[in-house]
Structure 1
Amino acid sequence: MAVNSESATLPRTGAVVAVLAMAGIVVSLMQTLVIPIIPRLPEYLNAGADDTAWVITATLLAAAVATPTMGRLGDMFGKRRMLLVSIVLMTVGSVIGAFATSVLPMIVGRTLQGLAAGVIPLGISVMRDVLPKEKLAGAVAMMSASLGVGGALGLPIAAVIAEYGSWHMLFWVSAVLGAISFVAVTMIVPESPERAGGGFDFAGALTLSVGLVALLLGVSKGASWGWTSTATIVCFVLAVAAFAAWVMWELRTKAPLVDLRVSSRPQVLLTNVASVVFGFAMFATSMVFPQVVQLPEQAGSGLGGSMLMAGLVMAPMGIMLLFAAPASSYITNNFGPKITLMTGAVIVAAGYLIGAFVLHSEWQLVVIGIIIGIGTGLAYGAMPALIMGGVPPSQTGAANSFNTLMRSLGTSFASAIAGVITSQMFIDLGGSHVPTGDAFTTIMLIAAGAAVVAFLVTMTIPKRSAPVEADDVGVEPARMS
């Protein structure tokens, strides 16, 4: 429960924020740990490339299902409790992956790891309930940024481990970090006092899960299946049908998984729309930078570097997400989260516009990544503040989880579109199709355009949120602009 004495809360506040941010970084770190070994998974697991591709896809699908579900369960039974459950699932999945020698247990382990995706939105919701208002904006910015920090830092860490040690060590590291996070959360983080009434919406969870799985399956596998293939079309049709059924059910049930009436408030709805677009923009660097670094120089678009070098190039961007948190907090507290999000979008757009024409050396990629990292850090800190300014405290878990899901959908769309572009714009190099420099330029320009769209959408967010909620995030109603 919250502590009333300011002198008692200040050191406690720092510890709570540090532990929750660490948990967020550990979970996002897990997402990128397997990237360096993806090309060798068929050899390691004695399976075909189509089968080992599910090591990635299973995590994506599990995260999509778990994020809104854990958010609602957190509102009902305790956000800290569900946070610990998520960390346990990730740790167990990591141990299974560490022992795996075939593809099936590896997929099971990665699925359990994906079920931990709700840690970051749950952590943000805990912060709203237990931290003093004046500390909330900075804490939320840091927690939100942990999603990108772990992803960026995971690449060089995983590359070093995979190059100099057994690939099983990747999962042992994840398991140990998960155990440490569990102990730290248990000892430091208090349970939030807010609870939502009603029962769990099983029908809503099922229909939303079916829609998300069908949509993401079609997006992630469309390139390999064929975008006009029967399997891809069936996935998209099923997704549309499931989402339609979900919306109709959520509007009728008394205790919905996601309160669509609250989510349709302009501040919440438009923030979620901006989050989808911004998620697209943010992920483009992950699709471009590693390929540019690792492609051979003969391709004309590559630098001939290693996976480790690619990770090191990405790391400064992740670090800047954390460094941008205080700036995000300052702008939010003084001018409102809307201005923070708009500022972040402008910086990201500028970074991508510059990067579209400057991808010729590692140091240039680092500078571009730093610019984009600053903008992303500002924006990611503002999104939860906007969401929490439009929903009651008892719904912050579900609302933040849904917002995180929107960002994830944006990254999935970015991956699919980037895959289409690189598959269409290539040269033949030694029998292999290698993306051209124009392909990378196109992706960067599209990402810049996405950031501009996010800016324009954010401009339309109303200046004021609902009167009873605006004060809860430490942002005065008059400063929501």
Structure 2
Amino acid sequence: MTDTLEKPATAVHEHRWSRRLVLWATVLTLANVLADLVIGSPMMVLPQLLEHFDTDQAAWLSASALLAGAIWSPLLAKSADLHGKRRMLVVTLLLACAGGVVCLLAPNLLIFLAGRFLQGAAFAAVFLSVTLVRQICAPGVAMAVVGLVTSGSSVVGIVEPFLMKPLVDAVGFRGVFAVAAVFAGLAALCVRAVLPESPVRGGGRIDVRGALLLGGGLGAVLAWTTLGGEHGRFSGGMLTLLAAGVVALAAWAFLSFRVAEPVIDLRALSRPILLTLLALVLAAGSFRGILQLTGLIAQIPPGLGLGYGLGHGESIDVLLAAPNVGIVVGGTLAGRLAGRYGPALPLLGGIALGAAATFTMLAGVSSLPLAVGCGAVVGMAAGAIGASGYNLATSLEAPERQGTTAGLVSVVLALGSVVFTFAGGEILRATEIPGRSAAGAPVSTATGVQLYVVTAGVLFLLAALPATFLARRAGRR
């Protein structure tokens, strides 16, 4: 039986699979593809952006939308609980569309970054889709659909480089933002025309001050973590940014206990929800770290005699495609299993699968076939963890607060990914071999690479502890 506190929605539209439900799932997957386009596509044209805007601020160009997503999420999540999930999903997509247009026409770097800030609202599309599905479908069907919409967008990651490259070659970097703007506008129209509104609404008002403190604090801390490597993590400016983020988060936590309706009610977060978030932040760091490592070692030839290496860079495409295939398979399968057995068990299964593949990667760092296989399995784990995390957290929450909780899941997943990316980079940087490089980048010792993999594996094992408790609790119920 599913471990849930959720009350049935008052106007559930679909209790089983139908043509209409397939159409809904397709439209929501289309909306979630936008988040991938906004975050990932500009990386394909990063050199052109640096040249066009005459800047060396690569980190700001690459991380700005993700940081903006952290700022937008608390406000959009709470607004969705009060004003409707479909309405806020349409607003989110229109903001991303406007951001794409601003980036397309931006005459200077400042206006371009303002456009990226608007585009960052697309980060909310995933959790808004999840909560909408949870309230317009019966629980068993909803969990399967959540698996599809949270992982189906990864198909784009397989074909995107091949589709975007001819466009970029023909019209330059602006083509990426034109596609994102058109895509966002089309998705907004489809959501508005096809999907019903969520039947459950919360009451009260939005704590705008709390949302700004929480979002701004998260954005500042993530900015310090993400951008510190380029600007000097302990420079005056970066330390000021970190201090501002910590103060903002502390102020938000203090105020959340004093206002009647905080943007996230810390007092209402039950022990199972906190354990779910803990498992997700650890697991997200693990699988994101392994996917990053495979991209790095793919550019190191085995002939350098380092004890690891997968090629001269020609292996990058297959190494990046394999995890995306795995994400689709893992997320879809986890959603189906959650509909029958509850989401806690697939979450634990995904974490166990990720741990096994990560420790196998100790041998895969020097074997391309094994690395591809490990990447695919880690991708399956990532898909299962993401889908199960959303399903579990929202099933443990009352319907009128599911938007806020799903938004918190998105922020936690991003936080885990960013923090371990930083920590893993520090491990590799601390073990660099002086005077050695490959593909223009410094290389680390085999010991550093192995330590990186072991650290990711240990995080998976730590994530399994709260996941095991949740699975046992669900089994008892």
* Alignment TM-score > 0.5, same fold: yes
| 1:435 pairs with one of 443, 463, 477 | 443
State the partner residue of 2:178: 172
Task: Report the CA distance shift for 1:94/1:363 in structure 2 as closer, same or farther (over 3 A).
Answer: farther
Q: Residues 155-201 of structure 1, C-alpha deviation per residue, up to 9 Å, x if partnerless?
A: 55545644676222222222222222122212211111211111110
Alignment partner of 1:434: what SS? strand
What's the TM-score, normalizing by structure 1? Answer: 0.88
Q: Answer yes or no: is 1:455 the counterpart of 2:477.
A: no
| 2:32 pairs with one of 24, 29, 47 | 24
Alignment partner of 2:257: what SS? helix
State the partner residue of 1:469: none
Which stretch of structure 1 is more off in the superposition, 96-105 or 31-40? 96-105
Identity of counterpart residues, as a percentage? 23
| 1:14 pairs with one of 15, 22, 41 | 22
| 1:118 pairs with one of 116, 121, 124 | 124
| 1:210 pairs with one of 213, 216, 226 | 216
Report how far residue 295 of structure 1 moved. 4.1
Separation in 2, partners of 1:352, 1:378: 15
State the partner residue of 2:51: 43
State the partner residue of 2:397: 391
Q: Answer yes or no: is 1:232 the counterpart of 2:227.
A: no
State the partner residue of 1:323: 329
Report how far residue 4 of structure 1 moved. 5.2
| 1:131 pairs with one of 137, 147, 152 | 137
| 2:294 pairs with one of 289, 294, 313 | 289
Which stretch of structure 1 is more off in the superposition, 125-134 or 422-431? 422-431
Q: Residues 78-117 of structure 1, C-alpha deviation per residue, up to 9 Å, x if partnerless?
A: 1111101111111222222233454223212222111221
| 1:446 pairs with one of 425, 430, 455 | 455
Separation in 2, partners of 1:168, 1:44: 11
Do the aligned partners of 2:284 and 2:382 also contact (CA within 8 Å) in 1?
no
State the partner residue of 2:101: 95
Separation in 2, partners of 1:159, 1:418: 30
Give runs of aligned pairs for residues 296-307 of structure 1, distance below 5 A.
299=304, 300=306, 301=309, 303-306=311-314
State the partner residue of 2:75: 69
| 2:203 pairs with one of 169, 188, 197 | 197
Q: Runs of 5+ in structure 2 lacking a partner? A: 1-9
Do the aligned partners of 1:275 and 1:383 also contact (CA within 8 Å) in 2?
yes
What's the TM-score, normalizing by structure 2? Answer: 0.89
Do the aligned partners of 1:276 and 1:406 also contact (CA within 8 Å) in 2?
yes
Give runs of aligned pairs for residues 220-299 of structure 1, distance below 5 A.
220-263=226-269, 265-295=270-300, 299=304
Task: Report the CA distance shift for 1:157/1:390 in structure 2 as closer, same or farther (over 3 A).
Answer: same
Separation in 1, partners of 2:377, 2:276: 22
Do the aligned partners of 2:144 and 2:337 also contact (CA within 8 Å) in 1?
no
Which stretch of structure 1 is more off in the superposition, 244-253 or 309-318? 309-318
Separation in 1, partners of 2:427, 2:13: 55
Q: Residues 419-453 of structure 1, C-alpha deviation per residue, up to 9 Å, x if partnerless?
A: 21232222324795522352433322221111111
Separation in 2, partners of 1:292, 1:40: 25
Separation in 2, partners of 1:144, 1:5: 19
Which stretch of structure 1 is more off in the superposition, 244-253 or 440-449? 440-449
State the partner residue of 1:467: none
- Letter of the structure 1 residue corresponding to residue 400 of structure 2: S
Report how far residue 370 of structure 1 moved. 1.0
State the partner residue of 1:59: 65
Give runs of aligned pairs for residues 329-408 of structure 1, distance below 5 A.
329-360=335-366, 362-408=368-414
The two structures, once aligned, show a CA RMSD in angstroms of 2.6
Do the aligned partners of 2:80 and 2:403 also contact (CA within 8 Å) in 1?
yes
Do the aligned partners of 2:148 and 2:335 also contact (CA within 8 Å) in 1?
no
Number of residue-to-residue matches in the alignment: 462
State the partner residue of 2:6: none
- Letter of the structure 2 residue corresponding to residue 274 of structure 1: A
Separation in 2, partners of 1:247, 1:480: 34
Alignment partner of 1:33: what SS? helix
Report how far residue 262 of structure 1 moved. 2.1
Alignment partner of 2:442: what SS? strand
Separation in 2, partners of 1:290, 1:357: 16
Which stretch of structure 1 is more off in the superposition, 443-452 or 232-241? 232-241
- Letter of the structure 2 residue corresponding to residue 434 of structure 1: P
Do the aligned partners of 2:151 and 2:332 also contact (CA within 8 Å) in 1?
no
Do the aligned partners of 1:62 and 1:112 also contact (CA within 8 Å) in 2?
yes
Task: Report the CA distance shift for 1:279/1:345 in structure 2 as closer, same or farther (over 3 A).
Answer: same
Report how far residue 33 of structure 1 moved. 0.5
- Letter of the structure 2 residue corresponding to residue 277 of structure 1: L
Q: Residues 317-347 of structure 1, C-alpha deviation per residue, up to 9 Å, x if partnerless?
A: 1122222234213432343222111110011
Task: Report the CA distance shift for 1:3/1:233 in structure 2 as closer, same or farther (over 3 A).
Answer: closer
Separation in 2, partners of 1:365, 1:15: 36
Separation in 1, partners of 2:14, 2:282: 41
Q: Answer yes or no: is 1:33 the counterpart of 2:33.
A: no
Separation in 2, partners of 1:30, 1:353: 32
Task: Report the CA distance shift for 1:305/1:81 in structure 2 as closer, same or farther (over 3 A).
Answer: same
- Letter of the structure 1 residue corresponding to residue 387 of structure 2: G
Do the aligned partners of 1:426 and 1:433 also contact (CA within 8 Å) in 2?
no
Q: Residues 257-280 of structure 1, C-alpha deviation per residue, up to 9 Å, x if partnerless?
A: 1121222x1111111111111110
